[in-house]
């Protein structure tokens, strides 16, 4: 609070008076202080709105989940924390290479996370670990040599409205080679971002085009 000096020429005050004494003038608030207070209120309001919108986005669009198991290594490790986008497939199609989260077809109380390998209507064949879709080899830079499974599978045609999914850690993955293609209505999200541990912090997006 600012204090003002006594003005020259003001009447003297009798020190023996028992009456209450009040300043002859009220302290004035400077325009700069008023402007600062206004800016603080505006910034506080905008910050609260931004926090509210962020919470809405996280709660309704993104869901934090914990990965259990190593079937998606080295992309995802056991106990890693990631965000999944729960609404992305309401607005765009599922692509080859997407890392999707879905209800386990054999037990819908469980959720799995795998990579999309083949789309509806396509034919999947695996020979000595090499995956082909409709006769064309699928580039898989996300599968390290030490995680390859050199066994054979198929050919299998993916039904309409279903997707063939596999884990990147092929030799330890329970995937469509075991439980078959996943119906599209079972897929409820796409893994988009890892946030823990910090050395894995970053985007998880990878489509067919990005893998080439």
Q: Are strands 136-137 and 130-133 parallel, antiparallel or unpaired?
A: antiparallel
Torsion of CA 86, 89, 95, 100, to 10 degrees: 20
Q: Which of 168, 149, 157 is nearest to 99 (CA)?
A: 168
User: Any catalytic annotation for residue 114?
Assistant: yes
Best CA proximity match to 116, nearest among 63, 158, 66, 149:
158
110 catalytic per annotation: no
Residue count of the chain: 212
- The phi, psi pair for 133, rounded to 5°, reads -125, 120
Among 7, 15, 30, 71, the one annotated catalytic: 71
Q: Which two tokens stand for residue 98?
A: 């997407």
Question: Residue 192: is it exposed, middle or buried by C-beta count within 10 angstroms (0-12/13-18/19+)?
Answer: middle
Q: Which of 7, 11, 26, 114 is catalytic?
A: 114
- Residues serving a catalytic function are 71, 114
């Amino acid at each position: 609070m600012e204090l003002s000096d006594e003005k020259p020429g003001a009447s003297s005050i009798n020190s023996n008076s028992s009456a209450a004494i009040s300043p002859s003038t009220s302290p004035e608030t400077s325009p700069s202080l008023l402007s600062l207070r206004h800016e603080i209120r505006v910034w506080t309001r905008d910050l609260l709105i931004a926090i509210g919108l962020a919470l809405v986005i996280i709660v309704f669009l993104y869901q934090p989940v914990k990965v259990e198991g190593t079937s998606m290594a080295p992309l995802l490790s056991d106990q890693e924390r990631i965000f999944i986008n729960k609404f992305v497939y309401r607005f765009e199609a599922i692509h080859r290479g997407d890392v999707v989260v879905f209800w386990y077809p054999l037990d819908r109380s469980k959720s799995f996370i795998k990579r999309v390998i083949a789309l509806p209507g396509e034919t999947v064949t695996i020979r000595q670990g090499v995956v082909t879709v409709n006769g064309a080899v699928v580039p898989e830079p996300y599968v390290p040599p030490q995680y390859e499974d050199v066994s054979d599978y198929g050919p299998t045609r993916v039904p309409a409205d279903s997707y063939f999914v596999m884990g990147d850690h092929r030799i330890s993955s329970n995937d469509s080679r075991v439980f078959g293609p996943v119906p599209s209505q079972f897929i409820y999200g796409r893994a988009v971002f890892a946030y823990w541990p910090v050395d894995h912090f970053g985007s998880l997006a990878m489509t067919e085009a990005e893998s080439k």
